[in-house]
Amino acid sequence: MKAVLSAVTAYLPEKVLTNQEISTFLDTSDEWILTRTGIRERRIFDRLQTDLKSSDIAAEVALKLLRMQNLDPLKIDVIILGSMYPDFVFPSTACVVQGMIGAHNALAFDITAACGFIPLAIQQGDMMIRAGQAKNVLIIGAELSSRVVDWTDRNTCVLFGDGAGALLLTSVDDSDPRGVIASTLKSDGRFTSILQLKKDEVDQAHFLEMDGKSVFKIAVNEMADSVKETLNKAGLQEKDIDWLIPHQANIRILDATAKKLGLPAEKLIVNVDRYGNTSSASIPIALMEAVESGKIKQGDLIALVAVGGGMNWGCNLIRY
């Protein structure tokens, strides 16, 4: 048996926050943000909705996917969830969501890898399906980034956006031409301090702290190498890739990664301009748009690649 990517969807807040709006309360400008990051706007959930939790938006996107697939929640075997802002340290947000959507037969757990979540989750789901332990694996990235960024820190808050995305991996026979072909994952704990979610000692509020330049360098070097290593494992080459879908962090990181791989701009999926960095949800959101617009077609070879807090990075090669 092997795993195919059988569905993808997203759930995004309606409220658009433009660079222009941010520059009304912060010492920044549309020009600075756009040229340094490629971001024009991002979505954010209503700040007055103070009781909104990551599990709420995760359950929303999960139910949307189940409705789309007409899939009984009891048929979900595994739920893997990523979020920079889990509801609790424990129980896992995946367990909270399992209860909310009635997926009572599922094993549910979180992976803490921030923006590096998707390659890890897909590789875990793929392994469980190959081992015969699961038929349907639901992967959810759910981000309330606007609740954890420091809105007085122009180095970080302009980069992030809210949103949730979900993927479904389904078990199929080996004869199926589709499927997850290979994955590569790496962690490097020497870089724990360059991207962190901290707690203020006085008011206990969370805030995101980042050494942007160091993260930038690691992202550019490791994402391209990760794709190369995965292609190597699969006996494929850069020219075989139909679509590169990187974690949407910064247009300069995306362009540099595509360039290092010798891929033309037309093969790069980009939506960071409209959503900013939605962390664990960014690849599902980009994938959904590329599928819905008809760019990605059945049989295409797609490379998903991400880097995130840890640092963690990785790639999945998938025949769609």
Ligand X SMILES: CC(C)(COP(=O)(O)OP(=O)(O)OC[C@H]1O[C@@H](n2cnc3c(N)ncnc32)[C@H](O)[C@@H]1OP(=O)(O)O)[C@@H](O)C(=O)NCCC(=O)NCCS
Binding site for ligand X (CB under 6 A): 28, 32-33, 36-37, 115, 154-155, 158-159, 210, 212-213, 215-216, 249-250, 277, 307-308
DSSP 268: B
Report the nearest approach of ligand X to the CB of residue 2 (Å). 29
Of 115, 136, 250, 312, which one is the catalytic site residue?
A: 115
Report the nearest approach of ligand X to the CB of residue 293 (Å). 25
Element (H, E) at 241: none
Task: Report the 10 Å Cβ neighbour count for 100.
Answer: 16
- Do residues 11 and 164 make contact, with C-beta atoms less than 8 angstroms apart? yes
- Do residues 290 and 92 make contact, with C-beta atoms less than 8 angstroms apart? no
**115: annotated active-site residue:** yes
Of 136, 247, 250, 312, which one is the catalytic site residue?
A: 247
Of the pair 128, 304, the CB lying nearest ligand X is at 304
Report the nearest approach of ligand X to the CB of residue 216 (Å). 4
Please name which of 290, 300, 287 lies closest in space to residue 8, comparing C-alpha atoms.
Answer: 287
Of the pair 63, 215, the CB lying nearest ligand X is at 215
Report the nearest approach of ligand X to the CB of residue 69 (Å). 29
Six-digit token string for 14: 């309606």
Residue nearest to ligand X (CB): 212
Contacts 24+ apart (CB under 8 A), 15-23: 15/43, 15/44, 15/45, 15/46, 16/41, 16/42, 16/43, 17/41, 17/42, 17/43, 17/44, 17/161, 19/158, 22/157, 22/158
State whether residue 279 is helix, strand or coil.
helix
Of the pair 305, 307, the CB lying nearest ligand X is at 307
Using alpha carbons only, what angle is made at residue 61 by residues 107 and 88, rounded to the nearest 5 degrees?
55
**277: annotated active-site residue:** yes
Of 19, 136, 250, 277, which one is the catalytic site residue?
A: 277
Six-digit token string for 3: 């795993």
Of the pair 3, 258, the CB lying nearest ligand X is at 258
Of the pair 69, 187, the CB lying nearest ligand X is at 187
Report the nearest approach of ligand X to the CB of residue 252 (Å). 7
Instruction: Provide the annotated active-site residues.
Output: 115, 247, 277
